[in-house]
Structure 1
């Protein structure tokens, strides 16, 4: 793997103002307007069949913003997209490593995540992402409560359950994934309120599987549904179920990997009181699924809040704070995926969330989400000749930040 920040061998850089991007009108329902076609023709370079990479600059009120864009043709049968992650929900790795390990030809960083715990002394951040996650059809986790999220303010109507995903029909779309689950006991069913999450709803019970990893589960009982900084709950319980039977009980959530074939149940407040009614040897089973609103199940999903919907920027996007940002968008009725990351070089202007939504729309996105930004923003491609993975943008921290997941692009041609 080769990390060569910003060293582009063959890509041309284009200077484009907002007016030039908008010159042909909104991209809306077509793959691109005339203005965007011109940008793509000049700046895009093939990475692999169905995948192109390009750079651009655009003018914002504070100066020039430098962007990096992957354009993915989902109509090409050689192309697939999947969620990259480091083998566990509660773990992190640089985007270049995630892409290299899976053989992706391109990738950008994914969802916001549990990055710090300054308000909870003695509690370690888990590194787990905020929203739902699906990789290769496998449900990795569900969403934390809205008040427990990290990242900029969401627009009205958005929730942590919002995702960008691709269904088994190979079409990209916005969706919302809700957890539906039950803990079945001899005394009756208990609602399951979490799946491999760093934060559980107040009074809730969450399930942790082998996909969670070795991170501590204490963080799941800290904060409240509306206040991430609220103290950790004083009333907790943990129950380990293996092959349909209770095999361990504890008053406090633990750490360490969950054994294959086992599920660890963590409860807080009323959820803890219900779990404490269980005894060693009791029969218990756990069922869970992520339910979307679309007609076709998602094979891939990454958490992020909408910034473009139905070919227009979402109302109420923040227009105050400018930062390095990452976004994923869909065009041509879900047949095209746009993956964008801004450059974090000192002196670059950055963008507000509102400006990012306008840019994604003008680049051709009918729908788009805001992904993690700042030091997390990273876009990589694989050289078609050397097969090295190259970091195309300059991460704002001077080096890649380890992240919990990334959007990976594959081309088998």
Structure 2
């Protein structure tokens, strides 16, 4: 058996590749032992890199194993909370994540309004724009990514309120690109900034822009694949009224980017929420509800990344509270901690040396892997 770790007893460890180690660790809590599966990545090792696991479209889902094998990852965990259920008749769940996503430096989506998110209550001061990411400097950080975008028309410039999101702010205009997928865009105009369950807006409009010109308009959001080079603008309330002023043939320029609060340029970023900063748990973390959880820890000044998923077997299913999660990440050596989707989504996969496919190392609490919209992957640098 491996030597004891600061957080408990390591049951086994395995070197997956230079700079990448897998181990499982027993975490001791007041209610008993919880098993954690941990992949540690040394970001100073140029043989490895961190990237977004995703199915190619924002509004799509695959299991973590499928995502990892499809992209050739050495290891991976599930990612952000997502639009998993929908109760409105005729409106389908998109499967899209809550927060921002960046893959290989390319912004895929921005964050939904705070009132439209799925997942446990956010700590004080946190927003849906919070991300954990790795910059082009190969340093991991917790940061915040906000959307900066505009729609320039012959009549003037309009602010862009969303990018490939399952929910748009009230009164805004959202841009949907080929990254979105084929899911209906109708859900984007449902709910409000403070109440996810509020009715869908009856004041909507859609404009299709191709090669810088309006090619189609519609009184309601549509569905179907969006071709490369095409942007669909969806407006609700005031945003819809602004889009109705556009006619076929008019020139329109759509611009958008994700801006980091730190000014850092990210190669990879994914949403969730922070639980540990500068070695201290955030104030107001829930200390009552326990669950199987997935998280990321950052250590050594951003040069070491810990990918953590709890085991969902009945013996360990009591899990951790969010407050306990922050404390355990600190015991594992992290100074920064970030919570991801948990419960039936919690999955950690790894590929042994010599193998061609990953295997699931924890035990998902549903008994099998859940399809998810994204995750964090560990790759051999090419």
**Short-chain TM bin:** over 0.9
Per-residue deviation, 1:366: 1.1
**Does the CA-based 8 Å contact 2:203-2:237 persist in structure 1?**
yes
Q: 2:124: which partner in 1?
A: 156
Q: 2:134: which partner in 1?
A: 166
In the TM superposition, structure 1's runs of 4+ consecutive aligned residues that sit over 6 Å from their partners are none
Given the alignment, which residue of 49, 59, 65 partners 1:80?
49
Q: Secondary structure at the match of 1:177?
A: strand
Q: 1:377: which partner in 2?
A: 346
**Does the CA-based 8 Å contact 1:109-1:376 persist in structure 2?**
yes
CA distance in 2: counterparts of 1:200 and 1:150, whole angstroms: 15
Q: 2:219: which partner in 1?
A: 251
CA distance in 1: counterparts of 2:260 and 2:105, whole angstroms: 13
CA distance in 2: counterparts of 1:309 and 1:112, whole angstroms: 21
Superposition map of 1:387-398 within 5 A? 387-398=356-367
CA distance in 2: counterparts of 1:343 and 1:277, whole angstroms: 54
CA distance in 2: counterparts of 1:75 and 1:60, whole angstroms: 33
Q: 1:316: which partner in 2?
A: 284
**Does the CA-based 8 Å contact 2:116-2:195 persist in structure 1?**
yes
How many residues are aligned here? 381
- Are residues 1:220 and 2:182 paired? no
**Deviation per CA, 1:329-388, whole angstroms, max 9, x where unpaired?**
110000000000001112322111110011111111111110000000000001212222
Q: Secondary structure at the match of 2:150?
A: strand
Given the alignment, which residue of 93, 97, 105 partners 2:62?
93
Superposition map of 1:4-403 within 5 A? 35=6, 43-118=12-87, 120-348=88-316, 349-403=318-372
For structure 2, the 5+ residue unaligned runs are none
Q: Secondary structure at the match of 1:99?
A: helix
Over the aligned positions, Cα root-mean-square deviation in angstroms equals: 1.4
**Deviation per CA, 1:64-93, whole angstroms, max 9, x where unpaired?**
211100000000011100001001000000
Per-residue deviation, 1:398: 0.7
**Does the CA-based 8 Å contact 1:109-1:407 persist in structure 2?**
yes
**Does the CA-based 8 Å contact 1:50-1:411 persist in structure 2?**
no
CA distance in 1: counterparts of 2:333 and 2:247, whole angstroms: 57
Per-residue deviation, 1:13: 7.8
Per-residue deviation, 1:45: 1.6
Query: 340-349 vs 322-331, which deviates more?
Result: 340-349
Per-residue deviation, 1:412: 4.3
CA distance in 1: counterparts of 2:41 and 2:355, whole angstroms: 21
Q: Secondary structure at the match of 2:76?
A: strand
For structure 1, the 5+ residue unaligned runs are 1-11, 22-34
**Does the CA-based 8 Å contact 2:9-2:26 persist in structure 1?**
no
- Shift of the 136–412 alpha-carbon distance from structure 1 to 2, 3 Å rule, reads closer
**Deviation per CA, 1:97-142, whole angstroms, max 9, x where unpaired?**
1000111100000000000012x22110000000000000010000
Per-residue deviation, 1:63: 2.1
CA distance in 2: counterparts of 1:167 and 1:412, whole angstroms: 15
Q: Secondary structure at the match of 1:183?
A: strand
